[in-house]
């Protein structure tokens, strides 16, 4: 398997524009996570899905952020409108529950978003 695939790897956009980040989880994984990483706040969990259903979106910072998972092999994180403070690296991760409910999450390479 190619692992978790995120696109684009880099995105530069102007303030006020809509930004869509994409993620393809590992086949067979039933959990998908979106994280955001900045120097100031570290790695923050934004939202996670189980079997395509959002389970916990308490980390989504504002209504400008939305995430969807229309099927088991694709998820999007959308920011509309974008602001400079949204600049960060956004990671997608997927996992499957192990025998002992351990959490081995596999992360993608991330999307570096810059809003100017």
> Which residues here bind other proteins, judged by CB under 8 A?
4, 31, 33, 35, 42-45, 48, 50, 55-56, 91, 93, 95, 97, 100-110
55, 46 contact by CB (below 8 A): no
Tokens of 76: 């999007």
By beta-carbon proximity to other proteins, the closer residue of 80 and 114 is 114
The three-class DSSP label of residue 24 is strand
By beta-carbon proximity to other proteins, the closer residue of 15 and 103 is 103
43, 59 contact by CB (below 8 A): no
Query: Rounded to the nearest whole angstrom, what is the least distance from the CB of residue 110 to other proteins in the complex?
Result: 6
């Amino acid at each position: 398997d190619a692992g978790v695939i995120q696109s684009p790897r880099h995105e530069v956009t102007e303030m006020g524009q809509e930004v869509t980040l994409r993620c393809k989880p590992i086949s067979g994984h039933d959990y998908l996570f979106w994280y955001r990483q900045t120097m100031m706040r570290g790695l923050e969990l934004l939202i996670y899905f189980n079997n395509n259903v959002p389970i916990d979106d308490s980390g989504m910072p504002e209504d400008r952020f939305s995430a969807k998972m229309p099927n088991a092999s694709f998820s999007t994180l959308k920011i509309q409108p974008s602001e400079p403070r949204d600049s960060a690296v956004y990671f997608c991760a997927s996992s499957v529950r192990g025998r002992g409910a351990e959490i081995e999450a596999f992360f993608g390479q991330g999307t570096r978003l810059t809003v100017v």
